[in-house]
Every structure is written in structure tokens, then in C-alpha cells.
Amino acid sequence: MIKRIEIEPIPLTEGCSKLVLKVEKGIIVEGYYYALVPVRGFETLLLDKEAPFATVAATRICGMCQAVHSIAAAKAIEDACNIEVPEAAEKLREALNLTVRVYNHLLHHIVISGNMFEDKDERFEFIKGVQRIRKNISTIMEIIGGEFVHPPNIVVGGISSSIDESVRERLIKLADETIPLAEKETKRFIDYINHIWKKRNLPDNLGSHNLDFFIAEDFNPEEIKELYPQEVFSEFPFKREATNTLVKVKGRAVETGVRARKVKKEGLKPSGGIKELHILRAEEIISTLKKMKTILEENTFNKELWNREFPVSDGQTTGNGIVEAPRGVNIHQVRVDKSGKITYYKIVVPTAINMLAIAEALKGEKVEYAEMVVRAYDPCIACATH
């Protein structure tokens, strides 16, 4: 006999969400994961606004992915309006995007630490260590972006404020200080992941799937299809509750994010399980910090970083802003008319892409593992209900 189980809300994720499971003999037959957060209507809000406003509005979509959305908005407008961005500004945007990735990965470690650490004192010691790293990272984000929460330095045409040599040297020093701290806490996190899996006798392939992987370089607008819940959730009335869209690439569910980057860029042969996902996210913290430091070392930013050309287009050309966010491919699309007003805006976020991957990963697993599978994808529900 198939039972229906509803779990609401799903704790230890970023935003209010719900999980509905079809279960037979304790095994998940189907799993539907979706957002309950009210839609705020950013795509509609931006219509008929002057194009530069998009970077300001986009930072308000999410308090954690703020710079990522703003960079994607700027890139989309620049693409639509054929605006050339100074090379140094592109590099500085990349460095800022990488700091956001580290900051988000570390927050995920804090959020799920209660499930990983059995000793309360050891958990709090871990959290304190992670927070020291995040403090350094937030300082770097604030210097480059102008503010931490809503960085105003990201503008259409580049970065509005240059960075003199003394500040660049300070950023490099901060990165140097942060890397060994991150290596220590990353090792501690991975050790505990391995410990918990062994103690609970969890299978290494828990939450595995056979889906394709999707990264920014794979983007083709003709291959992206955004679906309403009503088109996917045909069996249950909960389709009326869902406030996010779902995304398929080439007609299929895909996974995006850290594992996709590792598979597509470094040739990883994935197991597909959630243990692997946790470990890859932790390891990416170190490689990301080192990449960010290299960008700061190899470039100078004490020059004009902003092409101040006002953005105008024909109202028909679609500009695409594609950014690798912490959780995967973040897509902004825009059309701008001859007066510089936005006539069309579309946002496709990583969590909306991963919703169907989560559903696939749930199939065939014991019902008691359901929430573990969901959390491993670090879903950002705020982004998914923009």
C-alpha cells in the first residue's frame, strides 16, 4: 500500500519549503520538493525601469546570493546592449563571485552542523572556526562590492570603484590568513561526514541518480525550459501551494552546482550520492579561495573599471547573463529598448534547476533519509521564489 507523507517545513535549509512523499514499505516511490515562500515578482517589478536599476534590484532577491544576482543582471544588460566591460572589472567581479561561493558553502556547514557533530562543545568550536573564516570573507566582499548585503559597486559596464594597491595588498593578506583556517575546518567537516556515515552505516551512494550535469558553459537558451508546478505535479492538490518553477535542460532534469563543476571541468567520475556532494562542496572552499587569491595577485584594479555607456538596445535582442553561483548556474535574461527601458526580464536560478534532481535523488531511498537528501543540495528557496 502506498502512503503519502508530508513534511513541512523542511528545517536547516534557506527558506520555507515542503516535501511530499509517496512511500511503499518504507521506500520512497516518488518525492516532490517545492517552495512555500511567497513570490515577490522581481521579473515584473523590473519592467519599464531603466536598465541600470536591474543590478540594484537583483541584489534584493537573496541576502546570500546578492552579488551573484547583481553580476548576472549586469552581464545580461551588457550582452543585450553590446557594452564592453574593462577586463580588470571582469576579473574583480569574478573574485567577488568566488567569495560569495565560499561564504555560502560555509553557511551550509553551519546550518547542518547539528546533524554532523554529536558533541555540543565540539560543534560550537567548529562553528566558531567557520565564523572566523566568514568574517574575513565578508570583509573582502565588502571592500570589493562596496557593501556586504547589497553591494552597490556592481554596475552595468563594470565596477564603479577602483581599488588602490594598498587595499589590494590587504585583500591578498586576508586571503593568505583565511586559507589555512579554511583547510583546518574543511578537514574537520569531512572527517565528521565520514564518521557519521560509518557510525550510522549509511550507504556511500545514498541519494544517487543518473542525471546529466549542467554548468554555465553548457547554456543554450533554446535548451532551457521553465515549467510551472501544474505541469509537473499532476497527481496531488499540493501543486496549488508550490511557488517556484521547475527547470529542464534538453527536456530532462539535470543537476547543477559543485558536483557539476567538478564533473564538467575536472573530469570527476561521480557516484551521485549526497556524501560525495557534501565532501565536494567542502573541498571547493579551498580551491575557490586559492583561485580568488590568484586573481587578486595577478591583476591590478587601481584604474577606471567602469564603462559608463548608457545601455540601450532595440527592445528585441535578448541579453544573457550567466554566472556560476554557489549552487549552480544562475541565469538572467533581459531586453532593453531604445530609451534604455527594460521590456522583458527572466531569472532562472540554480535551486529551480536542482528541484527535479532532488526528486530523482529521493527515489528508492528509505523514507527516514528524505530530509538528508534535500539538505545536501543546500536549496536556496528565496532565490527560487523571486
Residue 347 is labelled as binding a ligand: yes
Calpha distance 231→300 (Å, rounded): 50
Nearest Cα residue to 350 out of 233, 260, 220, 240: 260
Residue 16 is labelled as binding a ligand: no
Nearest Cα residue to 161 out of 51, 244, 86, 259: 86
Chain length of the chain: 386
Residue 380 is labelled as binding a ligand: yes
First to last CA, the chain: 38
Calpha distance 115→123 (Å, rounded): 10
Residue 65 is labelled as binding a ligand: yes
- Would you state the torsion angle of the CA atoms of residues 47, 100, 274, 10, taken in this order, to the nearest 10 degrees? -60
Sorted by sequence, the CB contacts under 8 Å of residue 264 that are 6+ apart come out as: 213, 215, 217, 218
Residue 386 is labelled as binding a ligand: yes
Residue 278 is labelled as binding a ligand: no
Residue 309 is labelled as binding a ligand: no
Annotated binding residues for Fe cation: 65, 383
Annotated binding residues for Mg(2+): 43, 62, 347, 386
Annotated binding residues for Ni(2+): 65, 380
Annotated binding residues: 43, 62, 65, 347, 380, 383, 386
